[in-house]
A = this chain, B = another copy of it.
Amino acid sequence: MEASHRSNLRKHPVVKDRPIASLQPKLASLLPLKVDAEAPSVRCSCLACPAHELNLCAAAKTKGGPDSDRRSDAPQLASTVYTIPARRSICHPKEWSEFVPIVCDGWAASSIALPDGRRQILSFLLPGDIVSMASLLEPTHGRSVQAITQVTYRNFRRSEIKFNLLTFSDLLERVARICNEERAQADQLALDLGRRTAYERIARLISGLVDKLAKRGMTNGRTMEFPLRQRHIADATGLSLVHVGKVLGKFQEAGLIEINGRSLTIVNEMELRGVAGWP
Contact = CB atoms under 8 A, between A and B. Distances in A.
Nearest to A118: B195
Contact of A10 (B172, B180, B275): B275
Interface residues on A, range: 35 or more
Given A176-B137, A183-B134, A184-B142, A6 B190 contact: no
B180 A183 contact: no
A256 B179 CA distance: 39
A140 B253 contact: no
Given A114-B277, A254-B6, A275-B9, A186 B183 contact: yes
Contact of A112 (B135, B187, B193, B203): B187
Contact of A166 (B169, B187, B196, B277): B169
A191 interface: yes
B188 A112 contact: yes
B12 A176 contact: no
Interface string A189-219: 1110111110110010000000000000000
- Most chain B beta-carbon contacts within 10 A, residue among A112, A182, A187, A256: A187
A140 B185 CA distance: 12
A118 B122 CA distance: 22
Contact of A9 (B179, B199, B238): B199
Given A190-B120, A193-B190, A199 B11 contact: yes
Contact of A5 (B142, B200, B253): B253
A139 to B, nearest CB: 8
